[in-house]
Amino acid sequence: TTEQWQAGKKIIEALIQHGYEAVFVGGAVRDFVRHKVANDIDIATSALPSEVKTIFNRTVDLGLAHGTVLVIENHVPIEVTTFRTEGEYTDHRRPSDVKFVHSLEEDLKRRDFTMNALAMTADFQVVDLFDGQRDLHNGIIRTVGEPIERFKEDALRMLRAIRFTGQLGFSIDNATLEAIKLCANDLAYVSVERVSAELEKMWLSSNLDKGMTYLGQSHLAMHLPGDFPFEDARWNQLGNPQNVLVCWAFLCLLQEKPNSSELASVFKLSNELKLQITHLVQATQIRDERLFTIDDLYRFEENILVQAERLSRVLCNDIEQMPIEVIVQQKQALPIQSIRELVISGQDVMEWFNKPGGPWLKETLCRMEHAVLHQKVVNNATKLKEWIMNESNSEI
């Protein structure tokens, strides 16, 4: 946004006033050149982190070893990183150390793709040492320097290339793509968490199908963790999910024997996400068999029901479709949405029966919940008491 760029401009000008070099770098410059709104703005400078900290009042240390200081200017936080190169790459992912350098050129040379190696001055003049603007204009993703060498240094870059095809709708330069095929099995060196994060970025992008096609074409799909159907043709039908939950569930459901726990553990997903995936997989499997019943509508959250309807349309083309609005209406029309909406409490029930709590209490509450849900009795204290007393008497 303009606010971010203005704040960044101020920071750069202050650094220059103190005798340092400073420019905008990275994805923000790429997005600026494409006339797109930038995510977050990064600045690179010749000043050392300690020097950056003395110039600005409000700063936060963000990994000083890597040279990054967060500067807060006019309430906008901006990352300021010292020009650096990366030391030896020993494990195909992280350089053993970083070395601060004096020249911008060296800093730009270590960056992954030509489009990401652009810099820009405070007065918005683009510094383009590797023909990044030409590649941006033609929609080409190309490594800075020899692709095999760059992918051998850091295998994550291969997955970043694929993710960017999805995000930007770009194509991968031939030599770069061939290098990915050659280095694809190095993906094993990348931590699962980073793999999952890149996949999620790709899934949230507007060209998910392009990214998924490249994932297969580049042979990376074969080297992703576990044994999941990344190359299934039906990714093209998924549309624009805007929600990673749907994609994880889809990945799971494309398997012959969907197993959401296995998926979640292989990709180290959070317990919260795992639970949601499990629900969505179950709801979709149910929906493949039949329309949702009252109990299904009650059991699953609205979002799960809606997404399950959408997923089952992609996975089983012969199902009878139910309009999304109807599902939402049916869900909202249920007499209660959860047991907490019963007007009576466990305390009330103990008083009615004049008995202390125990397993019977939970069972009794569940019966009332079921009866209200299925409209055998209304959610009203007097009626509920009458109903449950009656039921219990007739059982004896």
Interface stretch with Mg ion, choices 25-33, 181-189, 313-321, 381-389 (CB under 5 A): 25-33
107 lies in the site for ligand ATP, by CB under 6 A: no
CA distance 295 to 204: 32
Contacting range for Mg ion; rule: CB under 5 A; set: 23-31, 81-89, 165-173, 246-254? 23-31
Site size for Mg ion, by CB under 5 A?
Answer: 1
DSSP 99: E
Q: Residue 112 Cβ, how far from Mg ion at the closest point, in Å? A: 12
Residue 156 or 327 having the CB closest to ligand ATP: 156
The CB-of-259 to Mg ion minimum distance in angstroms stands at 34
Shortest distance in whole angstroms from residue 252 CB to ligand ATP: 26
Instruction: Choose among 259, 315, 316: nearest CA to 282.
Output: 259
For residue 40, the minimal CB distance to Mg ion (Å) is 5
Q: Which residue has the CB atom at the shortest distance from ligand ATP?
A: 27
Q: Is there binding between residue 142 and ligand ATP (CB under 6 A)?
A: no
Q: Smallest gap, in angstroms, from Cβ of residue 212 to Mg ion?
A: 23
Among ligand ATP, Mg ion, none, what does residue 154 contact (CB within 5–8 Å per kind)? Answer: ligand ATP
Instruction: Give Cβ neighbours of residue 318 (< 8 Å, ≥ 6 apart).
Output: none
Six token digits for residue 187: 């993906």
Q: If we measure between CA atoms, which residue out of 20, 13, 148 comes closest to residue 92?
A: 148
Q: Which of 111, 142, 210, 331 binds ligand ATP (CB under 6 A)?
A: 111
Q: How far apart are CA 218 and CA 178, in angstroms?
A: 8
Asked if residue 105 lies in contact with residue 126, where contact means CB atoms within 8 angstroms, the answer is no
378: left (phi over 0), alpha (psi -120 to 50) or beta: beta
Quote the distance between the C-alpha of residue 133 and its chain's center: 28
Q: Please, which residue, 42 or 128, has the CB nearer to Mg ion?
A: 42
Q: Rounded to an integer, what distance in angstroms lies between the CA atom of residue 317 and that of residue 269?
A: 30
Q: What is the smallest separation between the CB atom of 22 and Mg ion, expressed in angstroms?
A: 17
Q: Which residues pair with 44 in a beta bridge?
A: 23, 81
Q: Which is nearer to ligand ATP, 156 or 162 (CB)?
A: 156
* Closer residue to ligand ATP, CB minimum distance, 113 or 248: 113
Binding mask 184-203 for ligand ATP (x = CB under 6 A): --------------------
Among 27, 49, 166, 258, interactor with Mg ion by CB under 5 A: 27
CB nearer to ligand ATP: pick between 55 and 117: 117
The residue with tokens 């009252």 is: 294
Site residue total, ligand ATP (CB under 6 A)? 10
- The span of 108-116, 131-139, 298-306, 358-366 binding ligand ATP (CB under 6 A) equals 108-116
Q: Rg of the chain's alpha carbons, rounded to an integer?
A: 28
What is the contact mask toward ligand ATP in residues 339 to 378, using x (rule: CB under 6 A)?
A: ----------------------------------------
Containing H/E element for 59? Answer: strand 59-61
C-alpha span between 237 and 209 (Å, rounded)? 8
Nearest to 189 by CA among 261, 91, 57, 117: 91
Beta bridge partners of 78: 71
Q: Closest distance between ligand ATP and the C-beta of residue 110, in Å?
A: 6
Of the ranges 70-78, 151-159, 307-315, 345-353, which one interacts with ligand ATP (CB under 6 A)? 151-159
Nearest distance from C-beta of residue 156 to ligand ATP, angstroms: 5
* Residue 305 C-alpha from the chain's centroid: 21
Identify the residue among 47, 136, 156, 254 touching ligand ATP (CB under 6 A). 156
Site for ligand ATP in 35-94 (CB under 6 A): 39
By the rule CB under 5 A, 8 interacts with Mg ion: no
What CA–CA distance (Å, rounded) separates 314 from 193?
Answer: 28
With b for 16 or more beta-carbon neighbours within 10 A and e for fewer, the 26-35 pattern comes to bbbbbbbbee
Give which of 211, 218, 154, 145 is closest to 184, Cα–Cα: 218
Find the Cα–Cα–Cα–Cα dihedral 67, 68, 72, 78, rounded to 10°. Answer: 130
- Which residues bind to ligand ATP, rule: CB under 6 A? 26-27, 39, 111-112, 116-117, 154, 156-157
- Which residues bind to Mg ion, rule: CB under 5 A? 27
